[in-house]
Structure 1
Amino acid sequence: MRRCLASLLGFVLALVVGWAREVPITILHTTDLHGNILTANDAEPTGGLARCATVIRQVRATEKNVLLVDAGDTIQGSAASWLSGGLVMLKAMNSLHYDAWVLGNHEFDWGLEKLTNCILAATMPVLAANLDGLAKVRPYVVREVDGVKVGIVGVTTPGIPNWSRPRLIPWLRFADSLETLRKVLPACRREGAQVLVLVAHQGYKESGDDHANQIRALARQFPELDVIIGAHTHRHFPEFRIGAVLYTQADFHGRRLGRVDLVFDTDKQRVVSKRSCTVLMDDSVSADPSVMELAREDLEREKKHLATVLGEAAEDFSTRGAPRKETPIHNLICEAIAEALQQRGVKVDAVIHGLLNLRTGLSKGPITMRDIWHLIPYENTVGVVRLTAGELREILEENVGAYDKHEFRGMWGVFWRFDPRAPEGRRVLEIRWPNGAPVNETERLRVAFNSYELASGGLRWKKLREIADRPETSLQEFDLETREAVAEYVRRHGVIHPVVRRWWQTEIARR
């Protein structure tokens, strides 16, 4: 009997060994496409989903087990996507049969109605495990590949409430990624996931994790993750290790297609090999014809929109010296916001705004919508708060703290003088009306900001957010995009002239 049992056991073990095999799994990934079907940069023919699509099809033709995911910030950023409400991107992604789409922070820029339309149009699972309150968004999906179950878990950045005003995300709740994964990973395992892939709209930062990016902590607290596919920070990590966890990030605008290659051993029941790389999408990669045909009408509409002539620049509008020094572009943006608000029945005393593209001005001659898109690449809207001189001083003090950074913003409509080297709390020296009179400490000024800064600009402007949320400042938010305000201004005036009015002075310049 013992010999029979031993023989039977040996036979069973031989069968198990015979069945054991190594299963290769390839995961392709895109991220931070920002609405780019074809070209992300007019001067550099690199990137775009249509080029990525060509390589995606090539890999699928040569590899047996291929999954495809997108890590977010997919719809916002191009005129074609904006004009279609993001749907041109979903048409293209649907045609490529993505296995998952993880939401990024810029997906919320246009409000929940347009985002919901995109989610409803998506044929792939839409993931964000740390988001609650949005229908049809799941924490994870389990895909079976050649007999192996791959769990794809998605998390968005928890920093979204620090960039988006509550009116854009009224009932949504964004949870800490670590707390979320403690609940979600066991649930994913219970559904049979043998391989764990985290797709995060967050990025690795050498300086450490912050309110929006928790990659280091995620990798260290969840070493059972086989790979983390990152996003958000527009960085390029072909292959990087955080302990035992493989980390990779595929740049932005479709400039690179990411590839992860795993090998799962069915005997050992684990991944025994993992590596990653990225593939450059330069002009040697042709655009996929089927994606281009799907997007043809949207791209033609974009071309016509961007070529629209709005007016003329009498001279060059330079950004030289920005952001510390006032520039003609600064005055153009601020005057456009003030005038657009006045057209809507609201007169403001001041506008505080920075330059969104420090390298781009306007050249003498015709001004097109393409020029305005280069100046204003985001769909931020405008809000107005009623501030006492003391509250304005607090906001300006916070702003002067960023004097040596690109986030520094100028003020239009009221003169101010400051010393960026003075102790905190004493850097703003003087605030005066245009007629030279000091601003009375008891009167309230109507001051306009953009919505991103009113939301704290990613915790850069916490004091501004705190003051704007006070009931007594009577915040009014408008469905007026800053890009729309500038386009209206140029169209209304026809010919515009560059001006510098010396709205601010520093003690450094006077010494």
Structure 2
Amino acid sequence: MTLFRVGEGLPTPARSDGYDFVRKLNASIMDSSKTSSAAAPRANVERLYLRVLATSDLHMQLIAYDYVKDRQTDGESLARLATLIRSARSEAESMGALCLLLDNGDTLQGNPLGAFLAKTEFQPNPMVTAMNTLGYDAVGLGNHDFDHGIAHLARCIQAFDAPVVGSNVTSKELPGLTASALLERDVQTTAGASASLRIGIISALPKETATWNRQQLDGLVQIDPPVSALQQAADQLKSDGADIVIALAHMGIALFDEGEEAQNRVAEVAALPHVDVVIAGHTHLRFPGPDHQSAAGANSDTGLISGTPVVMPGSGGSDLGVIDVCLQRDTPETPWAVSDRVVTLRPLTEDIREDPTVATLADDAHLATRKHLAQPVARITEPMHSYFALASPSPVTALMAAAKRYAIAKAVEASDLAQLPLIAAAATPATGGFDGPGNFITLPSGQLEQRHVAGLVPYANQVWAVKATGARIAGWLERSALIFNVLRQDRSDQMLIDPKVPGFRYDALYGLHYKIDLTAPSRFDAAGRPLPGERGRVSDITWQGAPVDPDQEFLVAVTDHRAGGGGMFRPFEEDDIVVRDNAPLDRALIDYLSLPSLERTVPAAPWQFRPAPGVTAILHTAPNALNHLDDIAHMAPEPCGFTQDGFARLRLHL
């Protein structure tokens, strides 16, 4: 635990007709007292107000720029969010409220700017500089902050002015990381008295990070179970005199029972006895709001879980999380206690422009990144896109599979593994989903540049290989097919894709052929547990025209992320990983594309839906997909309007 003391000298609370921060809290307090058998609060009770501002999953989106498409956007960015941060701070100051600004991790990775900074060690990192400029009070770590290696992360941690907290992360390679922080702030109470408030900060990320990022972490970093680590850190902070404890939980709010190896454990964190406020993240969703209406125990209207205020502020700077807390005590000798809280999200609106002070911090790194991304790498003869990749096999996915297969074939050519049938697993990197209708891949015919490769390989993945039997492959395909809703014969226009399942979890296995029956129930529940008596949806699995035997062995090219269980499931064991060389996926893709076109073996489409006459389904895709409907003519696509968030709706005939 590290103590950080700053005297802020905030003014005595005053009225402000333009802002109802105190009014909302006091109204809530009075409402609570009316419904309670306890007596109304005594007049001499001392109160103070705390405002917590939160960001999460910024993913290097410092400015509103799409480096893959090489154009300015009107999308999310920290530079735009800075305007909301300054406004929210000003409001708090006008009411005499103490204001903290916190970040919940996944900050240093996520776009080509972050990758370029890590590979070149361009200094200073403009995201860190921007967060220092905005005056963040504490920063937590997310799983993707490890993606570019420990050395890069260590340099960034050292550059932060604020404490960087990791309660379940231990490493001698990260000397600037602290297990907890105790911030001490001078405040004014409602009685006009000066007081010192001690705020404890704890932070944790999923334990699975150690497996997802083993390439960077093995032997260097220990990651403990998050909930128990947070409990221990919170208990210690309270023992050290913390008046309030805030948990930066880089985890989501579970939308279904995730089983024994759950990643999204915010509900458990919110129930910890000494945790008063929780900042959530990781899943890129929002809370409070409609994203979590199906989450057990979570109040999507009030933002409370187990009575604890929780905020999840989207991703990329899409929203500013705001938690307003009222603390009170009977006498100066008694401890402060949370008496009420109000949780809100402030989304970016069209009228909000980038803060020029923050935006210009990216100028040098931005120009250097664009110059790097403009470098030519290869040529392709036909354009490609991912508009329909979740409805029909996509050339983009086939390209990724071919690059992986080529890399592994070279790696094993002189070994006994070369005797095994070689197939490749590939997920399409951009299929809309949570990130909106702009989240699709488009590759022009002709010259490809580094920026196109960056769009195809958004993460610092390696190409590995696993051994897998036919039986394991069948289960793998069934788990992947959970992305598709079970369609009923008596209903029309059902949604094809389950919105709770992100597109990157859908693996296609190139080299095989198989069918998916959308009208059949799955063999597994949402957490991947077998359902008794269900035969499943995937059938007719063949290799080179022959049925795959359950005991038949294959060599499967995968990413290290999937080999480590990334995507909520792991279809094989540790001993099944047989190739784990240092083979970056982006390098493998460039090597494959550098081959003469005649030497590029493009794998055949591996899967198709089993015909379901009379059944239709709705696919959400990019508006520009309407110019490419001939690509899925076999599904007789019919445009049927647009969603509120800009997706084109297509009716597909199955």
Per the normalisation by structure 1, the TM-score is 0.82
1:333 aligns with 2:382: no
Partner of 1:117: 155
CA deviation string 1:441-500 (max 9, x = no partner): 999654311111100124412x32x1xx21xx5622132222332234335558999966
1:360 aligns with 2:441: yes
Distance 1:311 1:419, change over 3 A: closer
Q: Distance in 2 between matches of 1:307 and 1:260?
A: 43
1:483 aligns with 2:586: yes
Partner of 1:11: none
Q: Distance in 2 between matches of 1:59 and 1:109?
A: 32
Partner of 1:450: 559
CA deviation string 1:6-33 (max 9, x = no partner): xxxxxxxxxxx99964322222111100
1:84 aligns with 2:117: yes
Distance 1:402 1:440, change over 3 A: closer
CA deviation string 1:89-120 (max 9, x = no partner): 22222232321111111112223222222222
What are the within-5 Å matches in structure 2 for residues 256-405 of structure 1? 256-267=319-330, 269-319=336-386, 321-323=388-390, 325-341=392-408, 346=413, 349-358=422-431, 359-386=440-467, 391-405=469-483
SS at match of 1:478: coil
Distance 1:493 1:396, change over 3 A: farther
SS at match of 1:352: strand
One-letter code of the match for 1:216? Answer: A
Which residue of 14, 32, 46 corresponds with 2:75?
A: 46
How far 1:70 moved relative to its partner?
A: 0.4
Partner of 1:181: 230
One-letter code of the match for 2:579? Answer: Q
The answer (yes or no) to whether the contact 1:119–1:136 under 8 Å persists in 2 is: yes
The answer (yes or no) to whether the contact 1:109–1:168 under 8 Å persists in 2 is: no
SS at match of 2:135: coil
Q: List runs of 5+ in structure 2 lacking aligned partners.
A: 1-41, 188-195, 289-301, 432-439, 484-502, 524-533, 614-653
What are the within-5 Å matches in structure 2 for residues 145-164 of structure 1? 145=185, 146=187, 147-164=196-213
How far 1:72 moved relative to its partner?
A: 0.7
Q: Distance in 2 between matches of 1:340 and 1:230?
A: 38
CA deviation string 1:234-275 (max 9, x = no partner): 111245112321111111100112222223224362223321
**Larger CA deviation: 317-326 vs 68-77:** 317-326
Q: Distance in 2 between matches of 1:231 and 1:159?
A: 15
Distance 1:498 1:341, change over 3 A: closer
- Percent of counterpart pairs with the same letter? 24
Which residue of 130, 137, 141 corresponds with 2:181?
A: 141
Partner of 1:172: 221
SS at match of 1:402: helix
One-letter code of the match for 1:302? Answer: T
How far 1:357 moved relative to its partner?
A: 1.6
SS at match of 1:50: helix
How far 1:369 moved relative to its partner?
A: 2.9
Partner of 1:215: 266
Partner of 1:32: 57
How far 1:34 moved relative to its partner?
A: 0.5
Q: Distance in 2 between matches of 1:498 and 1:45?
A: 39
Distance 1:91 1:72, change over 3 A: same
CA deviation string 1:282-337 (max 9, x = no partner): 45223233323322111112222333343444333244653464321122112222
SS at match of 1:264: strand
**Larger CA deviation: 492-501 vs 133-142:** 492-501
1:432 aligns with 2:457: no
SS at match of 1:301: helix
Q: Distance in 1 between matches of 2:548 and 2:306?
A: 57
1:246 aligns with 2:296: no
Q: Distance in 2 between matches of 1:153 and 1:426?
A: 44
Distance 1:154 1:313, change over 3 A: same
SS at match of 1:142: strand
Q: Distance in 2 between matches of 1:184 and 1:479?
A: 36
Distance 1:31 1:427, change over 3 A: closer
Distance 1:188 1:346, change over 3 A: farther
How far 1:197 moved relative to its partner?
A: 1.4
The answer (yes or no) to whether the contact 1:316–1:498 under 8 Å persists in 2 is: no
SS at match of 1:331: helix
One-letter code of the match for 2:371? Answer: K
Q: Distance in 1 between matches of 2:353 and 2:219?
A: 42
CA deviation string 1:14-61 (max 9, x = no partner): xxx999643222221111000111126568512211222333334444
Partner of 2:287: 237
Distance 1:317 1:264, change over 3 A: same
Q: Distance in 1 between matches of 2:314 and 2:608?
A: 39
The answer (yes or no) to whether the contact 1:178–1:218 under 8 Å persists in 2 is: yes
The answer (yes or no) to whether the contact 1:196–1:225 under 8 Å persists in 2 is: yes
**Larger CA deviation: 20-29 vs 180-189:** 20-29
Distance 1:383 1:315, change over 3 A: same
How far 1:130 moved relative to its partner?
A: 2.0
Structure with higher RCO (Cα < 8 A, 6+ apart): 1
One-letter code of the match for 1:69? Answer: L
The answer (yes or no) to whether the contact 2:63–2:362 under 8 Å persists in 1 is: no
The answer (yes or no) to whether the contact 2:50–2:324 under 8 Å persists in 1 is: yes
Partner of 1:411: 509
How far 1:160 moved relative to its partner?
A: 1.8
One-letter code of the match for 2:477? Answer: N
**Larger CA deviation: 136-145 vs 319-328:** 319-328
How far 1:411 moved relative to its partner?
A: 2.5
Q: Distance in 2 between matches of 1:206 and 1:459?
A: 13
What are the within-5 Å matches in structure 2 for residues 92-111 of structure 1? 92-111=130-149
The answer (yes or no) to whether the contact 1:34–1:77 under 8 Å persists in 2 is: yes
Distance 1:344 1:163, change over 3 A: closer
Distance 1:183 1:138, change over 3 A: same
One-letter code of the match for 2:578? Answer: L
Distance 1:505 1:53, change over 3 A: closer
Q: Distance in 1 between matches of 2:552 and 2:248?
A: 51
Partner of 2:646: none
Partner of 1:5: none
Partner of 1:10: none
Q: Give the aligned CA root-mean-square deviation in angstroms.
A: 3.5
Distance 1:240 1:504, change over 3 A: closer
Q: List runs of 5+ in structure 1 lacking aligned partners.
A: 1-16
